[in-house]
Amino acid sequence: MAVMVKHEKLKNWVQEVVELCRPGSIHWCNGTKEEYDHLMTLMVENGMADSLQNRPNSFLFRSDPSDVARVEDRTYISAPTQDEAGPTNHWIDPDELKKTMTELYTGCMQGRTLYVIPFSMGPIGSPISKIGIELTDSPYVVCNMHIMTRVGTKVLEVLGTDGDYIPCLHSIGAPLAEGQEDVPWPCAPIEKKYISHFPQENLIWSFGSGYGGNALLGKKCLALRIASAMAKREGWMAEHMLILRLTNPEGRRFHIAAAFPSACGKTNLAMLEPTIEGWKCECIGDDIAWMKIGNDGRLYAINPEAGFFGVAPGTSYNSNPMAMETLKENCIFTNCALTDDGDIWWEGFDGEPPAHAIDWKGNDWTPDSGRPAAHPNARFTAPAAQCPVICPDWEDPKGVPIDIFVFGGRRAGVVPLVNEAYNWDHGVFLGATAASETTAANIGAVGNLRRDPFAMQPFCGYHMGDYFQHWFDMGDKLGAKAPRIFYVNWFRKSPDGKWLWPGFGENSRVLKWMCERVEGRADAVETPTGLFPRKVEGKAGAVETPIGLLPRKEDLDLTGLDIDNDDVEELLRIDTKAWQAELPDIEKHFDQFGRHLPQRLKVQLENLRKRLK
Ligand code: OXD
Ligand code: MN
- pLDDT tens digits, 264-299: 999 999 999 999 999 999 999 999 999 999 999 999
Average the pLDDT over 86-95 and give the result.
98
Closest ligand 1 atom, CA of 69?
A: 6
126 pLDDT band, cuts 50/70/90, is confident
Which runs of E-coded beta strand occur in 260-334?
280-285, 289-293, 299-302, 307-311, 332-334
- Rounded distance, CA 532 to CA 547, Å? 11
- Rounded distance, CA 568 to CA 459, Å? 34
Average the pLDDT over 545-559 and give the result.
94
Peptide bond preceding 533 in cis form (omega within 30 of 0): yes
Phi and psi angles of residue 358, each rounded to the nearest 5 degrees, phi first:
-100, 125
Q: Which segments of 433-525 does DSSP mark as H helices, in order?
A: 464-478, 507-519
- Condensed to tens digits (0 to 9), the pLDDT of residues 247-263 reads 999 999 999 999 999 88
- The residue ranking higher by pLDDT, 488 or 537, is 488
3 pLDDT band, cuts 50/70/90, is low
pLDDT computed for residue 1 by the predictor: 46
Q: Percent of the chain beyond pLDDT 90?
A: 91
The Å distance, Cα 262 to ligand 1 centre, comes to: 5
520 pLDDT band, cuts 50/70/90, is confident
The Å distance, Cα 169 to ligand 1 centre, comes to: 20
- pLDDT of residue 145 exceeding 60: yes
pLDDT computed for residue 449 by the predictor: 87
Which residue's CA lies nearest to atom 2 of ligand 1?
262
Average the pLDDT over 342-368 and give the result.
98
Ligand nearest to the CA of 311: 1
- pLDDT of residue 532 exceeding 90: no
The Å distance, Cα 267 to ligand 2 centre, comes to: 9
pLDDT computed for residue 535 by the predictor: 52
Query: In the chain, what are the helix, strand and coil shares in percent, each to the nearest 5?
Result: 30, 20, 45
Average the pLDDT over 87-97 and give the result.
98
Q: Report residues whose beta carbon is within 6 angstroms of any ligand 1 atom.
A: 70, 213, 262, 287, 309, 441
DSSP class of residue 594 equals G
- pLDDT of residue 524 exceeding 50: no
Q: Known catalytic residues?
A: 264
| Contact between residue 238 and residue 222 where contact means Cβ atoms under 8 Å apart | no
The Å distance, Cα 564 to ligand 1 centre, comes to: 34
As a three-state string, the secondary structure of 117-129 is EEEEECCCCCCCC
4 pLDDT band, cuts 50/70/90, is confident
Ligand nearest to the CA of 215: 1
Classified as helix, coil or strand, 145 is helix
pLDDT computed for residue 538 by the predictor: 56
Q: Ligand 1, residues 287, 305, 380: which to mutate, most atoms within 8 A of Cβ?
A: 287
Show the domains of the chain with their CATH numbers.
8-30+66-234 (3.40.449.10), 239-303+394-596 (3.90.228.20), 307-384 (2.170.8.10)
In whole angstroms, how far apart are CA 130 and each of 200, 290, 474, 543, 586?
Answer: 16, 10, 21, 43, 36
What is the DSSP code string of 79-133? Answer: -SSHHHH-TTSB---HHHHHHHHHHHHTTTTTTSEEEEEEEEESSTT-TT-EEEE
Q: Ligand 1, residues 70, 71, 195: which to mutate, most atoms within 8 A of Cβ?
A: 70
What is the DSSP code string of 232-247? Answer: HHHT-EEES-EEEEEE
Closest ligand 1 atom, CA of 441?
A: 6
Average pLDDT of every residue of the chain: 95
Which residue's CA lies nearest to atom 4 of ligand 1?
262
- pLDDT of residue 171 exceeding 80: yes
Classified as helix, coil or strand, 261 is coil
Sort residue 380 into left (φ over 0), alpha (ψ -120 to 50) or beta: beta
Average the pLDDT over 509-533 and give the result.
69
- pLDDT of residue 529 exceeding 70: no
pLDDT computed for residue 533 by the predictor: 44
Element (H, E) at 207: strand 203-207
